[in-house]
Structure 1
Amino acid sequence: MLIHTHTRQIEWGDCDPAGIVFHPRYLGYFDHCTNLLFAKAGFDLATLQARFAVIGYPVVDLHSRFLAPCRQGDEVRIESWVAELRNSSFDVQHRLWRDDTLAVEATVTRVWTVQDPADPRRMQGRPVPEAIRRALSIA
């Protein structure tokens, strides 16, 4: 499986009044890391849209566990990979580490979507293309 690792430093604006990362910020980190994972596989969003006419891969479910706090100035490492590929949906697993401590883990379910031909204001799930499946399964 293809794994992407991203390192970032926690910024002051990511933190709440208690001085720890405000929990919704983690979803932003994980969204960014999903895009980086696809780019590592050779499919940044512009390429996906041009080649597959996909709108994107919106989030439809999220499960997370917050195990240790992160604070301004902490350097964290986020590991991301596709843990399960179904017909049109897939689970992206994220683990955020502060040093050797697992601080947050999340499973984000996303759906491969295109514009609904009958109603351009709506989206429809479509099967994940084989080229994407192969690229995300690289060992």
Structure 2
Amino acid sequence: MTFNFPQKVLFKHCDPAGIVFYPRYFEMINDVIEAFFAEVVKAPFEDMHLHAAVPTAEIQCKFLKPSRHGDHLNLQLSSIRVGRSSFELAVDAYCGDEHRFSAKSTIVYVNENGRPTAWPDTMRIALEKNIKGNDA
């Protein structure tokens, strides 16, 4: 399953040349992860962050083509693997048929002390259901 998240490129995302300043893509990646957790996992960050968090442990990104102010991007989140406390995912951004960037990331579920801890069962089940080819 792929989770789709529309993102219009706004002025705040751009450098003086009018193209997306690359750190802003990382904000967009976080936005799609936050929306995925709220809509699919049913664990909105504003609720989860009262007792836990999901910081990024690793991220890799390839910038394929520039995006410009006013472009309409479709960010697509795909689940790769669920570990005991980790979740590997991919985010690909398209403008129409044009692939703009590709990222792979690992986030980790941590408790209020910042220590990795096992996913709660309801969250694990929701994450596992969204892995491509998984009929769980």
Q: Where do 5+ consecutive residues of structure 2 fail to align? A: 131-136
Partner of 1:90: 87
Match for residue 103 of structure 2?
A: 106
**Runs of 5+ unmatched residues, structure 1:** 117-122
1:35 lines up with 2:26 in the alignment: no
Matched, 1:136 2:127: yes
Instruction: Please tell me the residue identity of whatever aligns with 1:13.
Output: K
Q: In structure 1, how many angstroms separate the alpha carbons of the residues matched to 2:76 and 2:128?
A: 15
Q: Decide whether the 8 Å contact of 1:4 with 1:40 is kept in 2.
A: no
**CA–CA separation in structure 2 for the residues paired with 1:44 and 1:64:** 25
* Partner in structure 2 of residue 15 of structure 1: 14
Q: 1:16 to 1:138 in 2, by over 3 A?
A: same
TM-score by length of 2: 0.87
Partner of 2:26, secondary structure, is helix
Mapped to 1, the partners of 2:97 and 2:72 lie a distance apart of 11
Whole-Å separation in 2 of the counterparts to 1:102 and 1:37: 21
CA distance, structure 2, for counterparts of residue 113 and residue 105 of structure 1: 26
Contact kept in structure 1, 2:82 and 2:127, CA below 8 Å: no
SS of 2:115 mapped into structure 1: strand
The structure-2 alpha-carbon separation of the partners of 1:16 and 1:49, relative to structure 1 and needing over 3 Å to count, comes to closer
Residue 39 of structure 1, CA deviation: 0.8
Deviations 1:22-68 (A, max 9, x none): 00000000101101001112111233346xx32x1001111000001
What are the residue-to-residue correspondences of 1:50-65 with 2, within 5 Å? 53-54=51-52, 56-65=53-62
Q: SS at the partner of 1:25? A: helix
* SS, match of residue 124 in structure 2: helix
Deviations 1:69-122 (A, max 9, x none): 100011110011321111111112101001101110101111101123xxxxxx
Q: In percent, how many aligned pairs have the same letter?
A: 25
- Alignment RMSD, CA only? 1.5
Shift of 1:6: 1.0
**Partner residue of 2:4?**
5
Moved over 6 A (4+): none
